[in-house]
A and B are shown apart, each in its own frame.
Chain A
Amino acid sequence: MTDAALAPPAAAPRGLFGWTRTRLIRMGVTGRWVVILPPALWMTVFFLIPLAVVFKISFSEAVVAKPPYLPLLTFSDDGSVQLTLHLSNYLFLFQDSLYIAAYLSSLKIAFISTIFALLVGYPIAYFIARSSDRWRNILLMLVILPFWSSFLLRVYAWIGFLKNNGVINNFLGLFGIPQVTMLYTDFAVYLGIVYTYLPFMILPLYTNLVKLDGSLLEASADLGARPFRTFLSVTLPLSLPGIVAGSMLVFIPAIGEYVIPTLLGSPNTLMIGRVLWDEFFANRDWPLAASVAIAMLIVVVVPLMLMQRAQNAVVEGE
């Protein structure tokens, strides 16, 4: 649709509607703004401004009141305006070792889970990509199917599996193996993240691997390379964009995860999403929760920018 196509027709329509339309066009409001404005306004009001509000409240002081924070701007009787910015929330993030530890621990948990999701997801994606056309659709459906059912209930399923008298321990008990504590440990958190985010790892990998030119593999085999060697020097490098995309889709949301550490982790499993939640709901310290959120945004944005750069590098390399 070109601009010319969207320009008003020459003959001015009559009536109130036509009059409004002419006025709007004269003000520079053409048909396309009817398309652009609703989503633009919606995103501004419900996404951009909320982030600005979080930023603003992160500089205010917590009080026991409703709402539980003090305004930044205060108007005195003599007409002067006073702006009070409290940096104390941010300073507190550095002073109390809990927050730094929680950020680092979130990054660690997200990183290890991503590695395991890659190790589990890659063979599955490879297998699907190498299957016959008929099987491919069925297998893909099987990967996506759990994604459509409830996330919460999939995490819940693991509680029944991992708990002390749960399915796995009952099974091991048949062979006389003593009970292993698995639920409420960091191990359970890794497992939960790998399990729930696995489709996000498999799908980009599959999309990449299915495009892989089979003749390259044949050429490598003809030249005497063993399957494993072919995999290392042909398949793996070519699937790098898929690996990066899948890993980011697991890593980024895993950093802010709240549900999995709360349901499967121990009370000591530190994750920043959980800290924010407790700061907000248990301690009712809204300004501190806001500053945790801003710091978390920075932690999330940096890996995203790295991914963007990696992607650009791949595109330029092609």
Chain B
Amino acid sequence: MRRGWFVPTIAILGFVFLYAPIVSLVVFSFNESKLVTVWGGFSTKWYGELFADPQILNAGLLSLQVAAISACIALVTGTLCAVALTRFRRFRGKTLLAGLVSAPLVMPDVITGLSLLLLFVSMEALFGWPAGRGELTIILAHSTFCMAYVTVVVRSRLSELDLSLEEAAMDLGATPARVFFDITLPIIAPALVSGWLLSFTLSLDDLVIASFVSGPGSSTLPIVIFSKIKLGVSPDVNALASVIIGIVALGVVVATILQLRRPKERRA
């Protein structure tokens, strides 16, 4: 097919649009001047300040903890849900479960946050648990919406999976649990990894839901960043952003290289 100039030009402009703000964010993190967007010479002092700020470090640590635990809970419940929806023919409430688990994907964050907070407040009034709000309530909230994403990822992998392997194992007398752990799990492992990573990232990224369900003294990283940037730009946020973007870029590049290599190995 003949190639015009129009589509490539727009596409390249599109990629410039996607990356220009990020590049400028990183460039100005090395700016000496406190005026973030006026260049005042090269400096790494904002990185020094970033790693000396206990508020940011504590929030970062809390966020990583919440993200790791939520991702693990979501991985287990989400995988169970995906198995139930793809492998069990019919059970009472199957349609309801399918609807329930995909609803958080489209639910506005403000509603999810508000509804969970009201639940936690009512639960505390009725049973005295969870006492107050903090890390536990954030984990419960994040696990819930991450579970929806894990279910989507694992479910699509399970539904395209060749059933004959599982059937063969069952014909040979393996119990359903044995089949799952010995056959299904190793095959869907890549989907589990991407589901976990997706959950981890989403949890790390969430501001709105965490703002509703967190208590005093349990501010996650996005809550701290948000309160900083509501007042305008600040160079240490640029430094923090550059660190996060660096880690993410490295991770995605490594993952892509691994993924591009795999099919070749299989063919060989």
Contacts and interface: CB of A to CB of B under 8 A. Distances in A.
B144 A258 contact: no
B8 A127 contact: yes
B232 to A, nearest CB: 7
Interface string B234-245: 000110110011
B103 interface: yes
Interface residues of B, number: 93
A204 B238 CA distance: 32
B72 interface: no
Contacts of B181: none
B118 A50 contact: yes
Listed residue (B2, B176, B237, B253) with the most chain A CB atoms within 10 angstroms of its CB: B176
A91 interface: no
B115 A160 contact: no
B97 to A, nearest CB: 5
Contact of B110 (A40, A124, A139, A276): A276
B153 interface: no
B100 interface: yes
B21 A39 contact: no
Listed residue (A42, A67, A277) with the most chain B CB atoms within 10 angstroms of its CB: A42
Contacts of B201: 148
Given A6-B176, A53-B122, A157-B21, A145 B252 contact: yes
A165 interface: yes
A93 interface: no
B114 interface: yes
Interface in A130-163: 130, 137, 139, 141-146, 148-154, 156-161, 163
27 contacts: A3-B89, A38-B77, A38-B80, A39-B78, A39-B97, A42-B77, A43-B81, A45-B119, A124-B11, A130-B3, A139-B15, A149-B22, A149-B245, A152-B205, A154-B22, A159-B229, A160-B37, A161-B24, A163-B232, A163-B233, A165-B37, A170-B37, A198-B14, A221-B1, A227-B4, A263-B229, A280-B212
Contacts of A32: 84, 88, 91, 176
B185 interface: no
Chain B binding surface SS class: helix
Contacts of A273: 108-110, 208
A49 B119 contact: yes
B205 A150 contact: yes
A161 B101 CA distance: 38
Interface of A: 1-3, 5-6, 31-32, 35-36, 38-40, 42-51, 53-54, 57, 67, 120-121, 123-124, 126-128, 130, 137, 139, 141-146, 148-154, 156-161, 163, 165-167, 170, 195, 198, 214, 217-218, 221, 227, 252-253, 255-259, 262-263, 273, 276-277, 280-281, 286, 289-290, 293, 296-297, 300, 304
B177 A31 contact: yes
A157 B22 contact: yes
B188 interface: no
A124 B111 CA distance: 33
B9 to A, nearest CB: 9
Contact of B106 (A38, A120, A195, A252): A252
Interface in B21-63: 21-22, 24-25, 28, 35-38
A263 B228 CA distance: 11
Nearest to A3: B89
B106 A253 contact: yes
Listed residue (B37, B38, B91, B93) with the most chain A CB atoms within 10 angstroms of its CB: B37
Contacts of B179: 1
B1 A54 contact: no
Given A47-B100, A227-B4, A259-B208, A156 B25 contact: yes
A149 B141 contact: no
B252 A144 contact: yes
A269 B4 CA distance: 40
B172 interface: no
B165 interface: no
B80 A48 contact: no
A38 B73 CA distance: 11
Contacts, number: 250
Nearest to A161: B21
Contacts of A123: 6-7, 10-11, 14
Given A40-B93, A214-B1, A286-B118, A255 B108 contact: yes
A38 B254 CA distance: 34
Contacts of A54: 111, 114-115, 118
B130 to A, nearest CB: 12
Contact of A256 (B22, B109, B244): B109
B131 interface: no
Contact of B108 (A47, A139, A253): A253
Given A43-B144, A157-B241, A276-B114, 18 more contacts: A6-B176, A32-B176, A42-B143, A46-B119, A47-B104, A47-B144, A50-B115, A50-B116, A123-B10, A141-B256, A149-B22, A160-B28, A161-B20, A252-B106, A253-B106, A258-B110, A293-B114, A296-B111
Nearest to A170: B37
Given A31-B177, A273-B108, A290-B114, A150 B222 contact: yes
